[in-house]
Amino acid sequence: MKTPHILLVVGGGIAAYKACELIRLIRKAGMTVRCVLTDGGAQFITPMTLAALSENEVFTTLWDLKNETEMGHIQLSREADLIVVCPATADLLAKMAAGISDSLATTVLLATDTPVLAVPAMNVRMWQHAATQRNVAQLRGDGVQVVDPDSGAMACGEYGPGRLPEPVAIMAEIERALGSALSTPPAGGRGEALRGKRVLITAGPTHEPIDPVRYIANRSSGRQGFAIAAAAAEMGAEVHLIAGPVHLPTPPGVTRIDVETAREMAAAVDVALPADIAILVAAVADWRTADAADQKIKKTGGALPVLQLAENPDILAGLASDPRRPALLIGFAAETEHIVAHAQAKLARKRCDWIVANDVSGDVMGGQNNAVHIVTGQGVESWADLPKDQVARKLMEKIVDAVR
């Protein structure tokens, strides 16, 4: 088997230090790696460090007479099996989207027909800015695989999406992008069972604002949905996870989109289509306040505020009637009584293929275990109480059997 060759473009940001660990993981996986270091990246890490770790020459400038006599930027762009841009700064993403070639890195990226994987890292406001999101959408439309950043605390002191994923998660994306089987498949020989399938998963709660400090929510932790996303990725699927406000790490090999409200989740589901399989695990709030207050609502001498509620979009029913409806559409039902009966009614009402129902009257929401009933048009299959990761694997095995 040909040894995969990675060209790693290191952008300018504090997250550039993680490139060192990424190089180690790439080489440990049996791949070779060469590095292009941008001027910004060189402010955080040295060419000597990258050269020592990769055991290859590091390229920093377009104006190297020897290399450019040999059209070095063309050669670099063609000899790699995958180009990884990590960290991909807002500046790099913008230049990639616009086709600007004002440096060795951007010239290599413009001159290549090799698959490109971009791993963004930047301040939360920069990531959420309309210009960055427009550039990301353009790049994805052009065929670049852009990994959504993780959420968390940042070097600048702010919190939110924009953190570079951990190197082990980036390595999983590299392996998937190469289509290689370097990871050990899960038991049962199903490591490639969903290769080529696009799986859409929603997870967690939604928060519906009442005012700037209060919101309507539920106790969903997102653990079951995240476990299902991890199991789907392990089986080789292209997984897009739309997550409500939870504090969970992104599973390796999963593209994550963070949202807050039900309407944001519905919009993200629409953008993520088409998909072969959709598993809507999220506990979406049924209602929101009709008019969220711009300022904190104050107590007024005992008079209680009146909240007018409006119904949120029904994401599952909307997806069932969408022309782009996935071939297998699965909903979840969190119930406190008459679990199976309510799930059967929901299956008919929502017009999906399966309902996974569970009793949440105990500590299931936020807990580690789950006991579920799989309700389909053919009957009901009840599973004993299991850890959520085991429920996830068992569900994905059932899905594999259904889509074969």
Burial of 307: CB neighbours in 10 Å, binned 0-12, 13-18, 19+:
middle
Contacts of 304 (CB under 8 A, 6+ apart): none
Catalytic residue among 20, 86, 156, 352: 156
Nearest to 115 by CA among 142, 93, 91: 142
> Taking a C-beta distance cutoff of 8 angstroms, is the pair 158, 136 a contact?
no
Backbone angles phi, psi at 85, to 5 degrees: -100, 110
Please tell me the predicted confidence (pLDDT) of residue 277: 97
Check pLDDT > 60 for residue 306: yes
Mean pLDDT of all residues in 64-74: 55
Confidence check: pLDDT of 60 > 60: yes
Would you state the structure tokens that stand for residue 364, as one six-digit string? 């299931």
* Main-chain dihedrals φ then ψ at residue 370, nearest 5 degrees: -155, 140
Q: Is the confidence at residue 67, as pLDDT, over 60? A: no
Q: Tokens for 387, please give them.
A: 């850890």
Q: Using an 8 Å Cβ cutoff, are 333 and 342 in contact?
A: yes
Residue 6 host element (H or E): strand 5-10
Amino acid at 284: V
Residue from 175, 167, 168, 121 nearest 148 by CA: 121
Average pLDDT over residues 72-91: 85
Strands 116-120 vs 214-216: parallel, antiparallel or unpaired: unpaired
Torsion angle, CA of 227/232/234/239, rounded to 10 degrees?
A: -100
CB-based contact 176:217 (threshold 8 Å): no
Residue 162 in this model has a pLDDT that exceeds 80: yes
Q: Which domains does the chain have, with CATH numbers?
A: 1-183 (3.40.50.1950), 191-404 (3.40.50.10300)
Q: What pTM did the predictor assign?
A: 0.57
Residue 20 annotated in active site: no
Residue 111 or 328, more confident: 328
Q: How confident is the model at residue 193 (pLDDT cuts 50, 70, 90)?
A: confident
Q: What is the pLDDT of residues 28-51, one digit of tens each?
A: 888 999 999 999 999 999 999 999
Q: Would residue 160 be called left, alpha or beta, if left means φ above 0 and alpha means ψ between -120 and 50 degrees? A: left
**What whole-number distance in Å separates Cα of residue 225 and Cα of residue 199?**
12
In terms of Cα–Cα distance, which of 293, 211, 281 is closest to 246? 281
* pLDDT recorded at residue 368: 79
Report d(CA 73, CA 114) in Å as an integer.
13
Residue 224, pLDDT > 50, answer yes
Q: What percent of the chain has pLDDT over 90?
A: 66
Question: What is the distance in angstroms between the CA of the first residue and the CA of the last residue of the chain?
Answer: 28
Q: What is the pLDDT of residues 308-361, one digit of tens each?
A: 999 999 999 999 999 999 999 999 999 999 999 999 999 999 999 999 999 988
